[in-house]
Chain A
């Protein structure tokens, strides 16, 4: 399929530098990341770049003794900066100065993808255009004449299929061969003569001197001239021109008449598209006209059908949920938990005893680390299952349809349809749900969604409700539990209403989104996707979690004189609990043991139950039921449940929230907000409850 002959070995010797910096640039969803993974394989490392909002990935590979650094830049439609992704990509291209740009083009949507290509060419940097998804093009029966594109665009063009791994080696040969030549693409004539004249006049004006962002940089003048013609605001701000230069440029521009339905930016866009259409008409033979009904159309007719869309959507979501948190996921989780806590924990415990380790060491390792970190790590199978399923939904193209369907509902809270899935996942576990916000495009949307997620009652809170319901609400089980979940959803909506303004700053998410063709997810991609997130989960949540667990273990095992206490009642945690307990008297549960169990719920929500059992000294859940009936009234129990529903999530969730928000300030705001809300609502519930009770 590839018509390209690899660069001869002799040519490679001339490569002097043993390091190449290559930037991958292309439209969203053009297979850029797939190519990145194909190229770098297991060598990749994902880095959070400070100061930027969207991750750019860097990976490297060795090829013919040359180290190639590959930058995977956020997918963009154009080089005009109006979103953070585009600013990152543009800044990287202009200022990081890569040795070579590889522009990945989705050959199935050629025209739109080549629009970016025409802009990249204007940067006049060494560039290769990789026509991706050529296997799908072939399957469709379309024929692309690559030689025509090569001749017209004046850059090396190579057909590849990143999914299938076709053409990757040829691309690498081309990369090391071409980057060395430092060849710059000769710009083909895109604009009509009149505009071309104005651009070169502006270019000449720029030759007289200017500074860019305060300093002189090696920036292509023609590119800059086009940007000035377009009135690109960011560039206008960065370029320093003298007053006479500005005046002249304005005069040159006035030569071009602008129709009243256009502006200068659109004239440029229009010219680019006209150029591309002409080129594609010549070089691409399409088997079917654009109106042809494709398989994607047929699937869309069903899954976005007016009547079927919602049931199908609900079914898919329930299925995802059921597999992850239902019997299958729970089975794996329990096996894993058994392995970590009983087998691993048991063996370590024996080992420590045999080694004659001190009591506190055993307590720290078994009671602290294995118990705390272990209970979070045991979520791993569920995280893996969930992300496998979500990756399938994402890679196949369904997720874009889910966003299409739910957009109207989520717009009411200022979000777009894409936020639906992570919110739903919140009912299972906050940790994967918060990680799932990565599918959101804008950082602001992600932030608002993360603030909402903790109020979707997670499955770990279930045992707490179950304990109280078993003790006090036997007759109205369903009503009580549904009211709690519903309250959570209402509070999430309230949260969105409160934070909409400070977070989104009036920018309602725009919803101009491509609905990609359905594709069969590739297994390799799936593994990389899931593997990346699992690694993240284990390493990053694990390190923060480990520290937090040790702190809490310490607090509940030692007293203020730093002596280990046999009874938790004498621990720092308990004395702290007793100090703050009165704060909850308005909520109806000012008992220090209730307070401490809430504190221990910060490790994991389930431990609210276990701590209560320990502190009330009952032994077993049956006994606890009795104690709860003695200690709580219906009203204070409900207020307690409300507090558990709304207060700060566990440390695992918090560390994930911190990691994803990338802001200490916002994490602190979230925690303060959750505590305030939990206390207030719970107090209102209790006080109103008591009042109504007394009246009746």
Chain B
């Protein structure tokens, strides 16, 4: 299944599932990243990690290892 990391800058995705352990999942969920939420991939940091995504109007920086857990389905 595709994760947020597979999005190219400017692409959008809809969160399908968050697969990591409880505390990180909760942290992610609290930022509004929950199944059904729309994510815009904004950019990748100059050294290739972390990435910047936009969820409901706020820009969030997240490491690739963490973003890997955010599985998405493409927006139709």
Which residues of A are interface residues toward B (Cβ below 8 A)?
77-78, 80, 82, 108-112, 115, 259, 261-263, 265-266, 269-270, 273, 290-291, 296-297, 300-301, 304-307, 309-310, 400, 403-405, 407-409, 411, 510-517
Residues of A within 8 A of B28 (CB): 512
Which chain A residue lies CB-closest to B58?
A109
- Taking a contact as CB atoms under 8 Å apart, the answer to whether A309 and B46 are in contact is yes
Residues of B within 8 A of A510 (CB): 24, 27, 63, 66
Interface residues of B, count at CB 8 A: 42
Q: How far, in Å, is A558 (CB) from chain B's closest CB?
A: 57
| Alpha-carbon separation in the docked complex, A407 to B18 (Å) | 23
Picked from B17, B35, B60, the residue with its CB within 8 Å of the CB of A513 is B60
Which chain B residue lies CB-closest to A397?
B59
Given A290-B40, A296-B59, A511-B50, A115:B26 Cβ within 8 A? no
Which chain A residue lies CB-closest to B59?
A515
Given A109-B57, A512-B62, A515-B60, A266:B30 Cβ within 8 A? no
Write 21 A-B pairs (CB below 8 A) sorted by A numbering: A108-B57, A110-B57, A111-B32, A261-B18, A261-B35, A263-B25, A265-B26, A265-B29, A266-B25, A266-B34, A273-B37, A290-B38, A304-B45, A309-B46, A405-B45, A405-B46, A407-B50, A411-B49, A511-B61, A512-B60, A514-B61
Q: How far, in Å, is A304 (CB) from chain B's closest CB?
A: 6
- Taking a contact as CB atoms under 8 Å apart, the answer to whether A269 and B29 are in contact is yes
Given A261-B16, A405-B47, A408-B47, A115:B34 Cβ within 8 A? no
Q: How far, in Å, is B58 (CB) from chain A's closest CB?
A: 4
Which chain B residue lies CB-closest to A83?
B27
Which chain B residue lies CB-closest to A272?
B34
- Taking a contact as CB atoms under 8 Å apart, the answer to whether B26 and A513 are in contact is no
Chain A CB count within 10 A is highest, among B30, B36, B43, for B30
- Taking a contact as CB atoms under 8 Å apart, the answer to whether B57 and A111 are in contact is yes
- Taking a contact as CB atoms under 8 Å apart, the answer to whether B25 and A112 are in contact is no
- Taking a contact as CB atoms under 8 Å apart, the answer to whether A404 and B61 are in contact is yes
Q: How far, in Å, is B8 (CB) from chain A's closest CB?
A: 14
Chain B CB count within 10 A is highest, among A269, A301, A307, A407, for A269
| Alpha-carbon separation in the docked complex, A517 to B54 (Å) | 12
With A304-B52, A408-B49, A510-B27 already in contact, 19 other A-B pairs whose C-beta atoms are closer than 8 Å: A78-B30, A80-B30, A108-B57, A110-B57, A111-B56, A115-B30, A262-B35, A265-B26, A266-B25, A270-B34, A290-B54, A297-B42, A300-B43, A304-B43, A408-B47, A512-B27, A512-B60, A514-B31, A514-B60
Which chain A residue lies CB-closest to B49?
A408
Given A290-B54, A290-B56, A305-B46, A513:B61 Cβ within 8 A? yes
| Alpha-carbon separation in the docked complex, A197 to B38 (Å) | 30
- Taking a contact as CB atoms under 8 Å apart, the answer to whether A512 and B56 are in contact is no
Residues of A within 8 A of B56 (CB): 109, 111-112, 290
| Alpha-carbon separation in the docked complex, A7 to B50 (Å) | 49
- Taking a contact as CB atoms under 8 Å apart, the answer to whether A80 and B26 are in contact is yes
Given A111-B56, A310-B46, A514-B60, A273:B31 Cβ within 8 A? no
Q: How far, in Å, is B29 (CB) from chain A's closest CB?
A: 4
Given A109-B58, A265-B26, A511:B63 Cβ within 8 A? yes
- Taking a contact as CB atoms under 8 Å apart, the answer to whether A408 and B30 are in contact is no
Q: How far, in Å, is A86 (CB) from chain B's closest CB?
A: 10
B1-41 residues with Cβ-Cβ distance < 8 A to A are 16-18, 22-32, 34-38, 40
Q: How far, in Å, is B30 (CB) from chain A's closest CB?
A: 4
Picked from A310, A409, A515, the residue with its CB within 8 Å of the CB of B52 is A515
Q: How far, in Å, is A53 (CB) from chain B's closest CB?
A: 17
- Taking a contact as CB atoms under 8 Å apart, the answer to whether A77 and B52 are in contact is no
Residues of B within 8 A of A512 (CB): 27-28, 31, 60-62, 66
* Shortest beta-carbon contacts, A-B, top 9: A261-B17, A408-B47, A78-B30, A515-B59, A309-B46, A269-B29, A109-B58, A77-B30, A111-B56
Residues of A within 8 A of B46 (CB): 304-307, 309-310, 405
Given A273-B37, A291-B40, A304-B46, A514:B58 Cβ within 8 A? yes
